Structure 1
Amino acid sequence: MIQELFKAHTVSYTLPSIIGSVAASIILGLVVAMVYMYRNTYSKNFVTTLAALPVLVQLIIMLVNMNGNLGTGMAVLGAFSLIRFRSVEGNSRDIATIFWAMGVGLAAGMGYIFYAFFFSVIVTIYLLVLNTSSFGNLSSTAERELKITIPEDLDFPGLFDDLLNKYGYEYRYDSVKTTTMGSVYELAYYIKLKDVKNEKHLIDEIRVRNGNMPVVSSKISSKTNEL
């Protein structure tokens, strides 16, 4: 009985079956968009696209099934490979939601209506649990780029090694450059802090050692090479 629910029920596309599939795609598209909007920053254009994507994918799949031509199916696959969805850089949640919306359209277009609803419920509950729980929250460990300014008469090799070892699991000396007509040096380090709460203490101890000259601690982009 349960297996029958997951079987395609629209082998031949009649008007009622098409209307039912379209209605399912619209409803599930709205569900996908609303789940994406929950505790997330978004633009109207993007969520509108998410809501419409299942219907668009369903239309293409229905056309392929009606045609019954393998060549047409391969052409559609090639067209999908050329589509690029623009979203916030580095936001993997956008990519996962796009795949979800496309999966709903594929299932509805092939006639697996119950399948589309069943797994949309599972994905919705799963994402809501992950978003409301502490899963994936930032830990106390953090990576920082340190830029330390020192006077030209200060011998900098190994000058801050003890402090970086004290407050960090590991660090890497990156570069040194002269500024202000060569009167000062700017040292760059990458450090993985043991506890981000101690970042101020690290900066204060560096300032004592560099004569209270500027110290910049900034977050490292996700694209930066790991230590």
Structure 2
Amino acid sequence: MPTDLGNFYNLTQTETNTAVVVFNILFAFLLAYCIVWTWRKTHHGLSYSQSFAFTLIMLAPLSATVMMIVKNNLIGAFALLGAFAFIRFRTIMKETRDIAFLFFSLTIGVATGTNNYAIAIVATFLICVMILYLWKKNFGSAHEKIGFVLTVRTDSGFRGENLRAVFEKHFRKFELLHANTEADAHEYAYAIHFKDESHAAALLQDLKQTNGVRSTYLITGKETIEY
């Protein structure tokens, strides 16, 4: 067998065995898949990005590869990881939690690339469990979890008593989130609890027939929107 070809299978002591390289990349991919599953499970809002899911699952194998390349050069490792951070901060993200998931995937890739498999497994499991627990408890929400947000646009001469009568008919609880006044109109956003969610269509019909109401918008998932 030619010397060059033999060296491909029998790497020098300063290099990483091919089997270890393949295992680390695939192992990082598997753990990243768990991270992406957790991110998708706990995601809320209308800003879902398939490309971000791809980024998360690619980042761990890439960072593992980087760590295998520069494992004997600590300065080079920090420089390349700094480049990852620079790329992230040049990218605009709508949700700050996505930043944490990026560094989560990056950290697991670093652990795998340095052969710290126990750390990678335990960290992935525990952090994913913690994220799911916080998501289940609706941690960090300033309000009780509310199923709907109702936005009402009215004429400038609108009387609030008419709106309250409709609200008391359909809601067991409502809370004003936002109010905006323009030259000839007002806009109000309410967090609402239906007495019966199946009566949503009846609510919109009653609001349509209310004097002074121009338009209404009913959306779900109050915790997904900022006011």
Question: What TM-score do you get using the length of structure 1 for normalisation?
Answer: 0.59
What per-residue deviation string (whole Å, max 9, x for no partner) do you get for residues 38-84 of structure 1?
A: 876764x5555444322321233344441244xx4553343122123
SS at structure 2 position matched to 1:15: coil
What per-residue deviation string (whole Å, max 9, x for no partner) do you get for residues 99-143 of structure 1?
A: 33212211123331222233334456x38976xx9665x944432
**Whole-Å separation in 2 of the counterparts to 1:115 and 1:105:** 11
Answer yes or no: is 1:103 the counterpart of 2:107.
yes
Q: How far is 1:215 from its partner?
A: 2.8
**Whole-Å separation in 2 of the counterparts to 1:128 and 1:79:** 27
> Which residue of structure 2 lines up, in the alignment, with residue 156 of structure 1?
158
Letter in structure 2 aligned against 1:191? Y
**Whole-Å separation in 1 of the counterparts to 2:49 and 2:163:** 43
Structure-2 change in CA distance of 1:189 and 1:164 (3 Å) = farther
Answer yes or no: is 1:61 the counterpart of 2:60.
no
Answer yes or no: is 1:81 the counterpart of 2:80.
no
Question: Is there any run of 5+ residues in structure 1 with no aligned partner, and where?
Answer: 1-11, 179-185
**Whole-Å separation in 2 of the counterparts to 1:82 and 1:91:** 16
Work out whether residues 24 and 64 of structure 2, in 8 Å CA contact, stay in contact via their aligned partners in 1. no
Q: Percent identity?
A: 17
Question: What TM-score do you get using the length of structure 2 for normalisation?
Answer: 0.59
Q: How far is 1:160 from its partner?
A: 3.9
What per-residue deviation string (whole Å, max 9, x for no partner) do you get for residues 87-109 of structure 1?
A: 984494x5454333212211123
**RMSD in angstroms over aligned alpha carbons?**
4.4
Count of matched residue pairs: 195
> Which residue of structure 2 lines up, in the alignment, with residue 217 of structure 1?
217
Point out the more displaced range, 162-171 or 56-65.
162-171
**Whole-Å separation in 2 of the counterparts to 1:208 and 1:176:** 22
> Which residue of structure 2 lines up, in the alignment, with residue 181 of structure 1?
none
Structure-2 change in CA distance of 1:79 and 1:58 (3 Å) = same
Structure-2 change in CA distance of 1:111 and 1:34 (3 Å) = closer
